[in-house]
Amino acid sequence: MLPEVVKVPHIPIMDKVSFPSRSTAVLVVDMQNDFAHPNGKLYSPSSGEIIPRIARLLERARSSGVRIIYTQDTHPPDDPVEFPIWGPHVVKGSWGWQIVDQLKPTEGDIVVEKMRYDPFFGTPLDHILRMYGISNLVVVGTVANICVLHAVAGARLRLYNVAVPIDGIAALNDFDYVAALRQMDYLYKAVLTTIDGVVFEEKT
């Protein structure tokens, strides 16, 4: 029988995390209309709420020469794996598949299409990061306990340093959000901080 109340273990949040701009990328996970727009098929309000915070982070990152990489969840019209779970969503080429207008990629940004929760599975993401000499990732986006958590796991298992601003990720509910933070910290040893706590060291 499941307990009615679960005590949340201590989850450390760093005031500040500093990464060199040359070896750092911001990974924006699945900030697409179906997830982060009120008219999206799998919209959750918390996904919409993080948009201005991520935009603020991206502005600072670009001004510091930090590379920006987006993951774009991508499915065919008859996806046999995820559609039985979630229903049709982010079908390639649809409005829901597009990245939200407020966070549109700009020239020089990289977009990686992925078919599963893990952005490293079946994609060139790891190769892209290593090609550009990236060893540090700042991960933001949605959904915290699904695609964001798998992004953090995939990065850490490949020995990247990972920071996650806790006010730059969103979940479907509070339990999933806290559970994701616990796993990122306890299991994968990612560093948790805030959007304003991320510092990009100047280029040299």
- Written as one string, the DSSP assignment of 148-165 is IHHHHHHHHHTT-EEEEE
Choosing from 73, 118, 147, 185, which is the catalytic residue?
147
Residue with tokens 């935009």: 55
Q: Is 114 a catalytic residue?
A: yes
Token match 């706590």: residue?
197
**Contact (Cβ atoms closer than 8 angstroms) between residue 25 and residue 69:** yes
Catalytic residue among 30, 34, 73, 185: 30
Nearest to 28 by CA among 151, 132, 154: 151
Residue 24 tokens read as: 């750092």
- Cα separation, 148 vs 179, in Å, equals 12
Task: Tell me the β-bridge partners of 170.
Answer: 142
104 belongs to the catalytic site: no
Our answer to whether residue 30 is catalytic in this structure is: yes
2 Cβ partners below 8 Å, 6+ apart? none
Q: Which of 73, 114, 118, 185 is catalytic?
A: 114
Q: Are 193 and 16 in contact (CB under 8 A)?
A: yes
The catalytic site residues sit at 30, 114, 147
